[in-house]
Structure 1
């Protein structure tokens, strides 16, 4: 009879376990294969973008690394390297990336089983069960003291039948990729701002030198006009006009010096220094090269994908898409498996008696949402709206990027043309000043005409200095719009400020020597 009962119990147990063991491999195999995330809108947005950018003369290949070295200025390179190492905006973006990567690991952890260990003890002291009275009607004093010691391992695992956990992990990973792109965007912005400030600094120093020279010329001009006025050769109106020009240019010098100090302060912030510690970096002569190479014709639209802001927007769109899939999976049942084992004893040493005192518990839990007050549907609606929002952001970023590249290329061409015109004008101004110098030396001309010609030359040099800065910044705008640079098949047509072999003069160089 005992044997029969034992056989019956084993049969019931086998009947319970066999179906579960039969379907468990199938459940594990299909876990995560289903994804309720919608199709990505990225390919459709990219398909609408033109295949190339208009303008320029030759083909090129993208190369984002070290594009700023084309300016061939060791001072600028040192500033940029220090900015990449010390800039606080980059440090902030780097910390955000670290947080996003950690959050991605948290999102991914749901895909794996959870295993926990426990070790505990408890103590209870209670009176014995009964009337509470001892012999002879006295109140009983017997009590029950119990000490319990336990140890255990608990295992749990949620089967990802509908792709919820996998979509959440993918969303976390996409957010981390977006944060990485944000870091690259911060680096690019800091590089661009540092280069801009550097060329502003170069131009500001040139302008101060040229303004000082114009002040000297106008000082001589005032003196000559006063002498001629005393001899009755010029009117008082002309004298007042010359004096007014002299005072105006004198008044501009403090303003230019103030602008120079502000630029140096801005540059110090970009490289993570205080302004009084910048002399070491800026003590050397500043002579960046101007780059006049053509922009490659028909730059492939794939270059837009290198822009970090476009990449970040695309990854956030993908994160929102995966979140939609995770929220849709909330509508369906969730199946989780659990198992626990351990020991229980009345003595501390007994918890390690695994052979005699161990316990085992196995379980499976199926949970299906029946009524949530509209929470699940509202969550899906929120996810859908956020995905639509991020899709619009991504489409706008692609559109803006394309327009910015076209605008930057056009501006670069215009600034190059303007620089060439001013360069030709400077040659004519120098020729006029040289002619007046020779005329004055031979007694044919007068000193006033020479001073006027020299002043005109300095004014053109001032315009050329600003034009050189504008060419560099226009070139920088192309690099920034593309998120970097490209390989040129032949690095030609480069001209250098202050390099006589290039034919491009230093805008602050003297033309009267």
Structure 2
């Protein structure tokens, strides 16, 4: 048998469930992940261009594959101290707070307040003019009140939930941007380090050439002293030596620029770590480059693609939030507390007060303001879709450019190595012939200059090859550990919450 108390309880529960049932409705388009179909990359690294991989390369820590402890130290220091990365993390914290605040709007707001006021009533109002004739009337009185109050906007058509989802998507985009900054910082630090090693190698070549030209000048002077040379040969040898020496300042400037750049990347004042890197080391050889990477791997790993997709999802949610303004909004409010004109009677049964109410607000006539807001939201969504697609194309362009640059730089290094070997032999033979007096000094100078240029190009290209490998890792989104790979249909929205 159902008692009156049970009936009242069921009726009360039904009233509470009505807003919850209504709030399940959300207007606006549900988000659909954009279809992204890309053909396989048409550039590839030849199998002979890089060392054979002994184990699968971990893209999240690709710099360790160079087997250069100093490079690993530099990268880790940049990850720990870089200020761009710290700023990106702060932006994530801001986006996270905004998302949390947007989610909190779905819940009731409860306030607790209290007040104490002193009042002096006018005697000229209709009520007080009559009340003043009653015995015991007091013109001066105090009023005390204390208690909680609550308000709640029922998300009847999903506008608040759409806004909360949009904020959550923006949080995911900010996190992807932070990861993108991490990738850039790692790649820039490695690039600066490799340029430093390249400049050091080129300086060593220039200094070696200076020493060789000094020996040649001494040889010319000795021949002149012995009556076998002339003053023109001395002048030519001196000019050759000056030319070799003149290349050194330019190389030192380039080296200093990269040292300063690396210090800033490591969050330090330029000059902080210069001494630590002053010990000359060889340019590290490039590691094995994965040759089986496909566009789906790029879509899964590239943070700029992930961020663009999340912003697309957020713009879709804002369409629903704008459309919800076509419909009424309902708010509930209530308050409990005590209200008394005497502090001694404030917390008594007679001072207890309660109030409750509801409010409906409906923008029926606003001269097209809601229409304009919906059109603006749809336009922003179309823009975000175009930005997402363009981001995917630019990412594919980065990969193709990086792959062809690496493969062709490797070819050039191989050719320049052979050129250096041939020019070294030619220079040595020219010097021997000059000593024997069978050729003029100009032949020796020409051979020497060609060798200097070739050796400088070789070290520059060897550093360029290592930098090209870094560009490949950057293009593929290496430098972080993405979430576990889901089905291929979910590739564009990894790191994301469902927007549907």
Q: Report the TM-score, using the length of structure 1 for normalisation.
A: 0.79
Q: How does 1:134-149 map to 2 (within 5 A)?
A: 144-149=139-144
**2:31–2:313 Cα contact (<8 Å) kept:** no
Distance 1:225 1:35 in 2: 91
Structure 1 residue corresponding to 2:73, chosen from 78, 93, 99:
78
Cα offset for 1:348? Answer: 2.7
Matched, 1:55 2:44: yes
Deviation string 1:375-405 (CA, Å, 9 cap, x unpaired) is 2111111111111111111110001101110
Distance 2:352 2:311 in 1: 50
Distance 2:41 2:153 in 1: 48
Structure 2 residue corresponding to 1:374, chosen from 368, 373, 398:
368
- Tell me what 1:198 maps to: 193
- Tell me what 2:254 maps to: 259
- Tell me what 2:335 maps to: 340
Distance 2:233 2:204 in 1: 27
- Tell me what 2:269 maps to: 274
Matched, 1:463 2:453: no
- Tell me what 2:313 maps to: 318
Q: How does 1:79-228 map to 2 (within 5 A)?
A: 79-126=74-121, 129-130=128-129, 144-225=139-220
Cα offset for 1:187? Answer: 1.4
CA RMSD, aligned part only?
Answer: 3.7
**1:436–1:445 Cα contact (<8 Å) kept:** no
Cα offset for 1:246? Answer: 2.6
Structure 2 residue corresponding to 1:416, chosen from 405, 410, 413:
410
Q: Give the 3 Å change call, closer, same or farther, for CA 421–57 of structure 1 in structure 2.
A: closer
Structure 2 residue corresponding to 1:43, chosen from 29, 34, 43:
34
Distance 1:105 1:199 in 2: 43
Higher mean displacement: 261-270 or 407-416: 261-270
In structure 1, the gaps of 5 or more residues are 1-15, 135-141, 488-513
Distance 2:83 2:41 in 1: 36
**1:35–1:167 Cα contact (<8 Å) kept:** no
Secondary structure, in 3 states, of the residue corresponding to 2:60? coil
Q: How many residues align?
A: 464
In structure 2, the gaps of 5 or more residues are 1-7, 48-52, 482-500
Secondary structure, in 3 states, of the residue corresponding to 1:282? coil
Structure 2 residue corresponding to 1:389, chosen from 379, 383, 391:
383
Distance 1:133 1:408 in 2: 92
**1:207–1:462 Cα contact (<8 Å) kept:** yes
Cα offset for 1:233? Answer: 6.2
Higher mean displacement: 114-123 or 249-258: 249-258
**2:43–2:404 Cα contact (<8 Å) kept:** no
**1:197–1:263 Cα contact (<8 Å) kept:** yes
Secondary structure, in 3 states, of the residue corresponding to 2:334? strand
Matched, 1:28 2:3: no
**1:111–1:165 Cα contact (<8 Å) kept:** yes
Secondary structure, in 3 states, of the residue corresponding to 1:281? coil
- Tell me what 1:12 maps to: none
